[in-house]
Structure 1
């Protein structure tokens, strides 16, 4: 089978036949999209790969739209430009690019020129070594230390530890994917950084490649320190989806049973303080600066409230788990999805025949 890095310079370019799709979501990058297109053209055109550049304008307001229209008109053979009605976020723009892509290999990258187009051939060469996903690693990242690099390192280590996919840089947009490993993958929120995890769930072979990272020379960054908190929340969701997406009752039900157990313990402690050893309750009364010590009982402790709260939490968690199970079944059955991923079936020539 011919790999993409082995395509001959004389390979005919058939209408609609594309080997490589470069996906570029942009937002207010009027000064960057032109030079970026020139760099990509300088790298990809001499190789004669059958490629397309998909720019998705995420509701820009600074003239990026007009700039992309001009680029597309100048290079209609390779450039496709899509425009969203409003700013929907990087993940949504990248999802739109994925839906439009026609290539067998998909390479997303940032539109701020911090990713180097010269790294694309390196990613494709690594992909041809038997991998399905090659993730870029900005080993020498050109960003602010305190606001970008340190939070990113912490987040990357957490993601690698909890997901079991040992990558150094989940936040690097520059990656290379074989199209088949993204079949059925849908992106929401800010989940684009976790695409290698989704691909690994599909059975993909994942590796990483050190890539060049350049300092921003034009425009303003769209992200700050606050993005780190979103990564933590997304990580919790990823962990839940990884372990419990097909059995949510095990998550909610387990919490519910622990809550029920805590409630029974509190109730047992109430009975103990009421009928067997009431002095701790009276000590609690002293802590409440009460003069009427003899009238105080276990009811003055927080145990009744804690017991009721735990019983309610346990019941609600189990009911929530049942509801999640119903939603999960509706999700799979309404779309005719399976809970397994079939790689191949080997059978004899008469396996499909029926006796008459």
Structure 2
């Protein structure tokens, strides 16, 4: 990776946040100027249907040296916005924050020091005091508890949008699907284990409404299971499917063989054993064998695909500001 040309890159994914953008930009610029940071602000417009892009253009005219932006042709999700934005950052430290003014830019200097001076790879914000309804806070606590247990990373708030990264981290992780919730796990798997957290201010939403519904918690759990399996077996799927398939095949085969022996003993003793197919256990054991063979075959095919696939997600970008 080439030497970074600026101190801080601020990546802001957004969808229909035209009201908050001018205030957010001015706040970030003030914090950067007060601390004498060189910086860039990268607005990732995720297919907004309001005036967000027009507002961003006005901000780019006002601050052309520091404002850059990308507009997707359609809404492709926060993970896509972060993934594309990460690859285009130039800062030694990358800060991500939401565009709704619930994250405070005043946190940036302390986050920067934790990366640049204290040597952490990733610092995740922890909104210890939240201004969210209980319908959101309770599922969030359960989600974070499950993620801590599965990932072994001791963070209280995995899904906090306010995070700081060493520049190399952003250039070496792929944030696909809905994996923006699990960037600390992706960073750890990519070889950046120095991860910590910092208590940050959570502000009440000033403009608009939240863009996320309760379905994100269900999707988050499914993504967590996916990430766990992929991180452990993504490059060796045969170890996962093949192990389960082999176990089921062997158990089913031995059980079926034992049933056949039992029937022969019954024949020897009574001369009237009846048909083996009359026993329901025959079908259970046979099904176990078939499923075991199918799982083994699935593992074999997945192994071939993982060794030959190099395709990366393709996001359709409509327009860019700055390079």
Pairing 1:39–2:17 present: no
Equivalent residue for 1:170? Answer: 158
Are the counterparts in 1 of residues 11 and 41 from structure 2 also a CA contact under 8 Å? yes
Structure 1 residue 306 corresponds to structure 2 residue 284: yes
Partner of 1:90: 78
Give the C-alpha shift of residue 124 in structure 1: 1.2
Question: Does 2:90 match 1:102?
Answer: yes
Unaligned runs of 5+ in 1: 1-15, 279-293, 336-356
Other-structure match for 1:223: 212
Give the TM-score normalised by structure 1.
0.79
Aligned to 1:255: 244
Match of 2:171 in 1: 183
Cα distance, 1:316 vs structure 2:
1.5
Count of residue pairs the alignment pairs up? 303
CA contact (8 A) 1:273 1:298 kept: no
- Quote the Cα distance in structure 2 between the aligned partners of 1:151 and 1:277: 57
Give the 3-state SS of the residue equivalent to 1:77 in structure 2: coil
Question: Residue by residue, what CA displacement relative to the aligned partner does 1:200-254 show, whole Å, maximum 9, x if unpaired?
Answer: 2233211111111111121111112111111111111111122212322111111
Separation in 1 of the partners of 2:226 and 2:232? 10
1:238 to 224, 227, 239: 227
Name the structure 2 match of 1:322.
Answer: 300
**1:66 — aligned with what?**
54
Deviation at 1:156, TM superposition (A): 0.9
Asked whether the equivalents of residues 249 and 322 of structure 1 are also in contact (C-alpha less than 8 Å), the reply is: yes
In our comparison, the structure showing a higher alpha carbon Rg is 1
Greater relative CO, 1 or 2 (CA 8 Å, sep 6+): 2
C-alpha deviation, 1:36, in angstroms: 1.0
Secondary structure at the counterpart of residue 91 of structure 2: coil
Return the structure number with greater strand share.
Answer: 2
Q: CA deviation at 1:295?
A: 11
Deviation at 1:271, TM superposition (A): 2.7
Could you tell me how far apart the structure 2 residues matched to 1:275 and 1:141 are? 70
Shift in alpha-carbon separation, 1:265–1:102, aligned structure 2, 3 A: same
Root mean square deviation, CA, Å: 2.3
Contact 2:263–2:273 (CA under 8 A) maintained in structure 1 = no
Provide the TM-score with structure 2 as the length reference.
Answer: 0.87
Distance in 2 between residues matched to 1:143 and 1:301, nearest whole Å: 58
Structure 1 segments of 4 or more deviating over 3 A? 272-278, 294-302
Distance 1:33 1:91 in 2: 20
Greater shift after overlay, 187-196 or 305-314? 305-314
Asked if structure 1 preserves the Cα contact closer than 8 Å seen for 2:245 and 2:292, the reply is yes
- Alignment gaps of 5+ in structure 2: 313-323
Deviation at 1:264, TM superposition (A): 2.1
| Cα gap change, 1:87 to 1:264, in 2 (>3 Å) | same
1:29 aligns with 2:17: yes
